[in-house]
């Protein structure tokens, strides 16, 4: 692949000539002349999703953390460690993807995503500093060094990203896009459910509020990459190897289940190995369908955590702005902190 020029004097910005990758644009942001209208809408939605981590109070969570069972604390710490990795690698790698996208309107929302991933990293730092005892904080960031299951998860995505950096080919770029989609669309969600599960039992409510903001951002990122992948499939039907997509989904699903069982398992009320498998395959089927592919995991069509949908919604039952489990998202604005937990 050839990286686009920063400013392409010979570029042609006419919509009829525009392509998601391999196009010939000047690289100027003429947002009155866009081909991918979904990107315009998503840009406005993502811009409205502005929030500041420190506006969510974590004061009560510090006390509640000490009241968690050993299993709950292990899961809380381990999931935070994994989330720190996910958003760190996204912040660093998204510019590598944007360098090859030749649709300025999509470059714009990739820049917003990069910013949001950085905010998510700030959020985890705020949670860790506010709640985790000082002597344990380094363990959160270094857990991958001693936890082989976590290391294998981290390595899988990181190595796909790194291979494209080392060898900038179409095949490696296609794999990066699918890996990014899997990260945004599959890897976060059992961890998010753990925090919602605690909040439903009136535990770690501030953390769950923080996660809700992150969750809503991540779903817009999932929508972004689903649309990006579908546009490339339309413009070049042979670009993606469908068998490899399914193989990558299989790997991601297996790792998500193994990690969730390892860090959560059957030790948390309301979550067990059965529901972890059901939910992971349910969400993977949805992600496949969202990029125009046939769902792979037969019989996994129901969300086993339906009872948490109300907990996960920003404004409480009856005033639903975004269904986190179905990825139908809309905007929100943060003023002081997320409201709604007092209704539970």
User: What are phi and psi for residue 330, nearest 5 degrees?
Assistant: -145, 175
Residues annotated as catalytic are 124
CA distance 193 to 199: 10
CA distance 168 to 165: 6
CB 10 within 8 A of CB 25: no
Residue 2, by phi and psi: left (phi above 0), alpha (psi -120 to 50) or beta? beta
Tally the C-alpha atoms within 13 A of residue 139's C-alpha that lie toward its C-beta. Answer: 12
CB 184 within 8 A of CB 175: no
Hey, which residues does 328 pair with through a beta bridge?
323
The burial class, CB within 10 Å (0-12 / 13-18 / 19+), for 27 is: middle
Structure tokens at 195: 């925090």
Hey, which residues does 271 pair with through a beta bridge?
268
**What is the DSSP secondary-structure string of 171-222?**
HHHHHHHHHHHHIIIIITHHHHHHHHHHHHTTSSHHHHHHHHHHHHHHHHHH
CA distance 234 to 224: 16
């Amino acid at each position: 692949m050839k990286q686009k020029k920063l400013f392409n004097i010979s570029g042609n910005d006419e919509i009829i000539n525009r392509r998601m990758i391999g196009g010939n644009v000047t690289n100027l942001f003429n947002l009155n002349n866009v081909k991918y209208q979904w990107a315009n809408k998503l840009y406005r939605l993502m811009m409205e999703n502005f929030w500041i981590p420190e506006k969510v109070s974590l004061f009560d969570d510090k006390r509640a953390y000490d009241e968690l069972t050993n299993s709950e604390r292990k899961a809380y710490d381990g999931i935070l460690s994994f989330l720190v990795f996910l958003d760190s690698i996204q912040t660093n790698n998204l510019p590598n993807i944007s360098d090859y996208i030749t649709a300025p309107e999509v470059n714009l929302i990739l820049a917003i995503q990069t910013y949001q991933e950085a905010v998510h990293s700030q959020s985890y730092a705020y949670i860790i500093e506010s709640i985790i005892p000082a002597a344990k904080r380094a363990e959160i960031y270094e857990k991958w060094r001693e936890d082989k299951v976590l290391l294998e998860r981290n390595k899988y995505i990181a190595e796909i990203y790194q291979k494209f950096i080392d060898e900038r080919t179409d095949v490696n770029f296609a794999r990066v896009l699918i890996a990014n989609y899997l990260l945004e669309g599959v890897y976060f969600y059992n961890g998010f459910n753990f925090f919602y599960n605690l909040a439903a039992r009136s535990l770690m409510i501030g953390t769950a509020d923080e996660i809700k903001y992150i969750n809503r951002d991540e779903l817009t990122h999932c929508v972004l990459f689903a649309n990006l992948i579908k546009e490339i499939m339309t413009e070049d039907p042979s670009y993606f190897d469908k068998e490899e997509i399914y193989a990558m989904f299989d790997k991601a699903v297996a790792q998500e289940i193994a990690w969730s069982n390892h860090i959560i398992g059957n030790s948390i009320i309301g979550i067990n190995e059965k529901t972890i498998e059901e939910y992971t395959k349910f969400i993977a089927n949805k992600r496949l369908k969202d990029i125009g592919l046939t769902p792979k995991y037969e019989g996994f069509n129901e969300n086993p955590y339906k009872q948490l949908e109300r907990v996960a919604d920003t404004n409480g039952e009856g005033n639903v702005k975004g269904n986190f489990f179905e990825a139908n998202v809309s905007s929100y604005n943060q003023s002081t902190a997320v409201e709604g937990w007092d209704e539970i």
